[in-house]
Homo-oligomer: A and B are copies of this chain.
């Protein structure tokens, strides 16, 4: 009989539910044995949707980690507890798949990275789902195969459908700002396509708060543009927005010396086109899950395989930290209005020394 990875799910909010269901129903080599949530509404959902499949439910995270034979945990709780929950799991010798970001604090993130490095037999991964998306992977393979020559320019955007409820304004205070919360995915992709060891040279950014002016109270914006220059002749530029009328539009261009790869240049919800007196129309997924659902399924399966077989994961916990770090520099450039400079080791150069 197949040996399955015994995994527990922590946090059953929007994304937590999806992780739990993916490990329960769409990851053949994993067995979701336990789930934790401190929230009553989420617990009710778990009783209806997880318990009937034999999943044991907990309202205490640490208690859940004592589930007999538990091997791994997927963490999708609120950001502020990610790091401590990950540290607890590592301490119990569990593999960890943690939603991004590990922490908004670089120091705390480093603590997690170091704990993970101290136990190299454990798989500790921060979930950058686009790394598991088949289109991004196809583009990366094509680039590796030389289809576009040497990559030099990288454009990527994370653009959400406008949510008039103002949910994002509340969320803004907790999430580190638009470059850390949204563009971090694009930054991670830039590192993947340019090389994980790419070193930043300068960072500049500008933003506006157009449809959610209240974001300015939280020092945040609903549209922002940033440029990250890397040493060695590479430039990435980013756009994030929470103002799209049509739906989610996460588009990436990788431009090389002899060609270009575009991922999702023409968003579409499905294969239907509507021909009407308005013209020809196609619909667009309203949310990122409409675009990346199967990337999350692949993530669950590959994390499981890595934990069971010791195979390599497509990204290490340290890489996630670098993306958050660059996102924080962009955020600093955005909120101060200043351009930031870095030396050839990636260390910030004081303005007074320029």
Contact = CB atoms under 8 A, between A and B. Distances in A.
Given A138-B272, A239-B237, A210 B260 contact: no
A272 B208 contact: no
Contacts of A66: none
Given A223-B153, A227-B227, A261-B272, A25 B24 contact: no
A244 B265 contact: no
Contacts of A1: 52-54
22 contacts: A1-B53, A26-B26, A202-B337, A206-B229, A207-B235, A211-B257, A225-B227, A237-B239, A241-B255, A246-B259, A246-B260, A246-B275, A246-B276, A246-B277, A246-B278, A259-B277, A262-B272, A265-B271, A274-B279, A278-B283, A279-B284, A337-B339
A339 B204 CA distance: 8
A245 interface: yes
Most chain B Cβ neighbours within 10 Å, of A210, A235, A244, A275: A275
Contacts of A234: 208
Contacts of A210: 150, 152, 233, 257
**What is the copy number of this chain in the assembly?**
4
A345 interface: no
A273 interface: yes
Given A210-B150, A339-B204, A243 B255 contact: yes
Nearest to A228: B206
B153 A239 contact: yes
Contact of A259 (B139, B226, B267, B274): B274
A338 interface: yes
A281 B277 CA distance: 11
Contacts of A206: 202, 204, 227, 229, 235
A281 B279 contact: yes
A44 interface: no
Given A135-B271, A235-B225, A237-B239, A246 B280 contact: yes
A233 B204 contact: no
A155 B239 CA distance: 10
Interface in A242-270: 243-247, 249, 255, 257-270
Contacts of A272: 135, 138-139, 142, 261-263
A2 interface: yes
Contacts of A170: none
A67 B339 CA distance: 56
Interface string A184-207: 000000000000000000101111
A275 B257 contact: no
A284 B279 CA distance: 6
Contact of A142 (B260, B274, B284): B274
